Amino acid sequence: MKELSCDVAVIGAGTAGLAASGAAHRAGAKVLLIESGSSGTTCAQVGCMPSKLLIAAAEVAHQAATASIFGIETAPIRIDGRSVMARVQHERNRFVRSVLKSYEAIPAQSRLTGLAHFVDGQTLEVENEAGERSRVRAKAIVIATGSRASVPKTFQSVAARVLTNETIFELETLPASVAVIGAGAVGLELGQALHRLGVRTAIFDRDTDIGGLRDEGMNRHARSLFAEELDLRLGVDIQAEPAPGAADCVRIKWQAKSGEGAEGTADFSHVLVAAGRPPNLEALRLQRAGVKLDEHGVPEFDAGTLRCGDSRVFIAGDASAWRPLLHEAVDAGTIAGHNAARFPDVRVSTRSAPLAITFTDPQIAIVGDTSLKPRLVGKADFSDQGRARVMNRNRGCVRLYADPSTNRLTGAEMIGPAVEHLSHLIAWAVQGDAQVRELLELPFYHPTLEEALRSALRDLCAQLRLVPAYEVGSMEYGPAI
């Protein structure tokens, strides 16, 4: 067995692993990056980028289908499923190649290919596809193994017709019909995109919340908006079985969890399971690492240092099951890599304000800690907002949250046009500890969607008695202006 030693061993060469490796190297550590052999990051290969490519095609199809409201008539729309998927795969592969270039630029002596597991808290054993094994001794170890698709046992009998985010983008053409399991970000995004591309689609979830929204009022509003376009079956238990007499179909049966109310049966060519991605930790033999595991088998860790207990082990990215988003994986990998390189001089880092975006139409965005109480809620509605009406995208609303004791913005929940951009402004304000009145004094150009933020800020200011209530609507511009 080959014996290797390093200052920092990083398990996983995805987004978090590459960030951790780079940070540790910049800190002067001798780094060994261990990758099992899979290509590309989750984002590039099966996540952010291929899904946005599919959504982009769906947006064009939807714009063409709804152009008549602007007096523009289009010929009957024909969607070429093979061409749609060919472009998704071509562009996806380009993104993956870019990631691989970053990995391959790392010196060969700083990379090791194979599946790693812990021998003890400082030692790893790595076995490659040829069965060759290496033993790696490190001063500190970073776990950055990412997450994996998971298919519940409910769907074992129809496994041949089940898709996940790891397989749907490999289809040669668009499916005929899809039952989407999960109304979170992935399920909503892909469900709506497939629907707009002519695929018969229904979305099922045991919960009634959608898109990660926490506020019940916002959830009701979101359910109402999406139900105008999509077949939503929320708060239901489902069963899946082969459709009688149709080997290429799945029969989905659903019933309200309460046992009363909605129930039904429908057949679909495929099932898309989009009900979460658990951390990819099974092969690591964590019981040997000297780390404490939670009830889900994930190492307990400090969010400011990424250190697992009092061990020499750090964890970053989707492997931690905490904020599984690319920008968070970069931040976490950087923090974990720096601390692993400096070990035992571990330092606490301030994390960025939470920000999550669902790329549906209308979009959904969640900023900050939306569970903080007490709070004041500043409201704005897109239904009569000038720029939104101009674009025929006047659906949704904004909720800004503020601490009444400090007048500071703490978070937001949004549904509406281009809230991917508006939410960044609020995230920057939350991270900058900005006060509501300070934000209201900033410029808001007219006519822009950003004026919705001003409306919500003025509402907060009135509640905080920073402006008279009668002034709240005095600077609002309707569609006629």
Q: Which residues are annotated as a binding site for FAD?
A: 52, 145-147, 318
CA atoms within a 13 Å half-sphere pointing along the CA-CB vector of 405: 3
3-state secondary structure at position 2: strand
Which pLDDT value is given to residue 473? 52
Q: Are 243 and 251 in contact (CB under 8 A)?
A: yes
Beta-strand relationship, 162-163 and 270-273: parallel
Q: How far apart are CA 365 and CA 353, in angstroms?
A: 13
**What are the φ and ψ backbone dihedral angles of 365, each rounded to 5 degrees?**
-140, 140
Q: What is the dihedral of CA 468, 472, 475, 476, to 10 degrees?
A: -170
Q: Which residues are annotated as a binding site?
A: 52, 145-147, 182-189, 276, 318
Helix (H) / strand (E) containing 331: helix 326-342
Closest CA to 177 of 246, 90, 78: 246
Which pLDDT value is given to residue 125? 98
For 65, residues 6+ apart whose C-beta sits below 8 A from its C-beta are: 74, 77, 196
195 is catalytic: no
The 10 Å CB-count burial string (b at 16+, else e) for 179-195 is bbbbbbbbbbbbbbbbb
Tokens of 213: 């929204």
Residue with tokens 């965005």: 365
CA atoms within a 13 Å half-sphere pointing along the CA-CB vector of 391: 18
Tokens of 241: 């079985």
Closest CA to 31 of 131, 176, 136: 136
pLDDT in tens, 344-367: 999 999 999 999 999 999 999 999
For 33, residues 6+ apart whose C-beta sits below 8 A from its C-beta are: 10, 13, 17, 18, 21, 103, 106, 110, 111, 112
Domains of the chain listed by start with CATH number? 2-37+114-148+278-342 (3.50.50.60), 153-273 (3.50.50.60), 355-471 (3.30.390.30)
Residue with tokens 């982009």: 56
Closest CA to 266 of 278, 254, 275, 277: 254
Q: Which residues are annotated as a binding site for NAD(+)?
A: 182-189, 276
Residue with tokens 């298919």: 151
pTM for the predicted model, two decimal places: 0.93
Which pLDDT value is given to residue 295? 95
Catalytic residue among 90, 327, 421, 446: 446
Q: How far apart are CA 304 and CA 318, in angstroms?
A: 16
Tokens of 442: 């900033």
Q: Are 226 and 235 in contact (CB under 8 A)?
A: no
Which pLDDT value is given to residue 37? 79
Tokens of 331: 């931040």
Q: How far apart are CA 229 and CA 231, in angstroms?
A: 7
What's the longest Cα–Cα distance across the chain?
78
Q: Are 168 and 190 in contact (CB under 8 A)?
A: yes
Closest CA to 273 of 165, 409, 144: 165
Beta-strand relationship, 408-416 and 270-273: unpaired
Q: How far apart are CA 11 and CA 33, in angstroms?
A: 6
- Region for residue 5 given its phi and psi (left: phi exceeds 0; alpha: psi -120 to 50; beta: otherwise): beta
Q: What is the pLDDT along the chain (481 residues), one digit of tens a residue?
A: 899 999 999 999 999 999 999 999 999 999 999 999 766 788 888 889 999 999 999 999 999 999 999 999 998 899 999 999 999 999 999 999 998 998 999 999 999 999 999 999 999 999 999 999 999 999 999 999 999 999 999 999 999 999 999 999 999 999 999 999 999 999 999 999 999 999 999 999 999 999 999 999 999 999 999 999 999 999 999 999 999 988 899 999 999 987 666 789 999 999 999 988 999 999 999 999 999 999 999 999 999 999 999 999 999 999 999 989 999 999 999 999 999 999 999 999 999 999 999 999 999 999 999 988 889 999 999 999 999 999 999 999 999 999 999 999 999 999 999 999 999 999 999 999 999 999 999 999 999 999 999 999 999 999 998 865 546 554 444 443 3
3-state secondary structure at position 424: helix
The DSSP call for residue 293 is B
Across 206-260, where does the E strand assignment appear?
231-234, 236-242, 250-256
pLDDT in tens, 17-47: 999 999 999 999 999 999 997 667 888 888 8
